């Protein structure tokens, strides 16, 4: 009874076989079939190789959400060279709540405003990258992905023996996450009950020169290789009393890649500049003013990778699709070749029969059946 049950179960399993085996005596190998198989296997290998590179590639996913962090401080990273001596200028921040932020984190370093040939080449390269970033926004994904390897934001050393006629203001400040105004103007800043003031009365108007070069300006955590919007910007003014204004919109950004995870900020900027001439009605204060505002939306940038299961499914699709397609094409081509050969054979037989030159055997029954279809 047990043997009978096992036999029935085995027969049932055999009936469920979706891959029945064909006896070798029924299988015929041809040169055309081998050629098609070789081409199919080569095509499978090439597509599988390219699919592996697609599997290894990554892409950036951008998600937008409301920024709920209002209590933390915003870090401002500054590196600006102004064509005035350090004792004549001062930099500080005044936010929307009229809160003055001390500039203790900034250093004033006397430098030469003119660049050496190597420094000028570095700046032109940076400006060229900025231009490409404005035209091709997808390059930002490359910077996010390769941020650890790129280090183009290193300021060249000042080795020139020329007189030090400029001041490099660099360092960082921590401010409240509200709109504010970072500015560089004449005179050192002093605290004031109703805001702040600058000691500009002791500086002669002939020494005013707010031509400047922004080596680096970013917000949030410093990430090597990330090129900010204003990096490399240079403004040269022929007038002494000149106001440069930058209206900046900051967007908080959480960056999470396979190499780095950081909280940084992207920003867009609108520029405006004008000459201060009170006689002509152009009022204001000479200097460099960066008025920033923080967006309420936050961008989450995540580097993503194709899952292994999806790669295997695509690989199976490539192999199975090519295998079945080439088999069908080979069958159709073989059928057409057989039809053409049989038609030629039948035509030759009919012509010889009509002329009666010599006796010709009839075409094979397979050809007659094929042509009857």
* CB within 8 Å of 60: residues ≥ 6 apart: 141, 144, 145, 301, 302, 303, 304
How does the average pLDDT of the chain come out, rounded?
77
Residue whose C-alpha is closest to residue 223's, from 293, 174, 136, 153:
153
Residue 149 reports pLDDT greater than 50: no
Average pLDDT over residues 68-75: 84
Residue 150 reports pLDDT greater than 50: no
User: Distance between CA 313 and CA 311 in Å, rounded?
Assistant: 5
Q: Band the pLDDT of 27: cuts 50, 70, 90.
A: low
Go through 340-355 and write b for each residue having 16 or more CB atoms within 10 A of its CB, e for each that does not: eebeebeeeeeeeeee
Cβ atoms of residues 228 and 264 within 8 Å = no
User: Distance between CA 24 and CA 21 in Å, rounded?
Assistant: 9
| Better pLDDT: 110 or 143 | 110
Average pLDDT over residues 226-247: 86
pLDDT attached to residue 214: 92
pLDDT attached to residue 245: 92
Give residue-wise pLDDT tens across range 247-294.
Answer: 999 999 888 888 778 888 888 899 998 887 777 777 778 889 999 999
| Better pLDDT: 290 or 186 | 290
pLDDT attached to residue 292: 93
User: Per-residue DSSP letters for 213-247?
Assistant: EEEEEEEES--TTPPPTTTTEEE--SSSSEEEEEE
Residue 154 reports pLDDT greater than 50: no
Give residue-wise pLDDT tens across range 319-370.
Answer: 888 888 877 776 776 666 666 666 666 666 566 555 655 454 555 555 655 5
Q: Band the pLDDT of 152: cuts 50, 70, 90.
A: very low
Tokens 């070069």, residue located: 213
Average pLDDT over residues 211-240: 85
Of 56-70, 149-163, 263-277, 297-311, the range with the lowest mean pLDDT is 149-163
Residue 335 main-chain phi, psi, to 5 deg:
-65, -45
Residue 135 reports pLDDT greater than 90: no
| Angle between helical axes of 308-355 and 31-56 (0-180°, round to 10) | 160
């Amino acid at each position: 009874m047990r043997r009978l049950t096992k036999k029935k179960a085995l027969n049932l399993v055999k009936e469920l076989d979706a891959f029945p085996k064909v006896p070798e005596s029924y299988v015929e190998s041809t040169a055309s079939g081998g050629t098609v198989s070789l081409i199919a296997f080569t095509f499978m290998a090439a597509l599988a190789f390219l699919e592996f590179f697609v599997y290894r590639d990554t892409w950036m996913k951008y998600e937008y959400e409301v920024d709920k962090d209002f209590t933390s401080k915003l870090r401002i990273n500054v590196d600006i060279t102004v064509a005035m001596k350090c004792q004549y200028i001062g930099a500080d921040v005044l936010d929307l709540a009229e809160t003055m932020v001390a500039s203790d984190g900034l250093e004033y370093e006397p430098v030469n405003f003119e660049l050496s040939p190597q420094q000028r080449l570095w700046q032109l390269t940076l400006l060229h990258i900025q231009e490409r970033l404005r035209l091709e926004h997808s390059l930002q994904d490359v910077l996010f992905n390769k941020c650890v390897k790129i280090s183009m934001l290193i300021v060249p050393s000042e080795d020139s023996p020329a007189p030090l006629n400029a001041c490099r203001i660099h360092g960082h400040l921590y401010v409240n996450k509200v709109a504010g105004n970072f500015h560089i103007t004449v005179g050192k800043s002093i605290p004031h009950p109703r805001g702040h003031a600058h000691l500009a009365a002791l500086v002669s108007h002939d020494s005013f020169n707010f031509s400047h070069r922004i080596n680096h300006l970013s917000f949030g955590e410093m990430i090597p290789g990330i090129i900010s919007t204003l990096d490399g910007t240079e403004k040269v003014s022929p007038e002494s009393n000149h106001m440069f204004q930058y209206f900046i919109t900051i967007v908080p950004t959480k960056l999470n890649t396979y190499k780095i995870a950081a909280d940084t900020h992207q920003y867009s900027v609108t520029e405006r500049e004008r000459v201060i001439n009170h006689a002509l009605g152009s009022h204001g204060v000479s200097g460099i003013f960066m008025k920033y505002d923080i967006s309420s939306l936050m961008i989450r940038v995540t580097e993503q990778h194709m899952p292994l299961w999806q790669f295997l499914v695509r690989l199976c699709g490539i192999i199975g699709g090519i295998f079945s397609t080439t088999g069908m094409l080979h069958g159709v081509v073989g059928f057409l070749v057989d039809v053409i050969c049989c038609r030629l054979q039948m035509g030759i037989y009919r012509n010889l029969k009509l002329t009666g030159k010599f006796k010709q055997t009839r075409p094979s029954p397979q050809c007659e059946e094929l042509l009857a279809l």
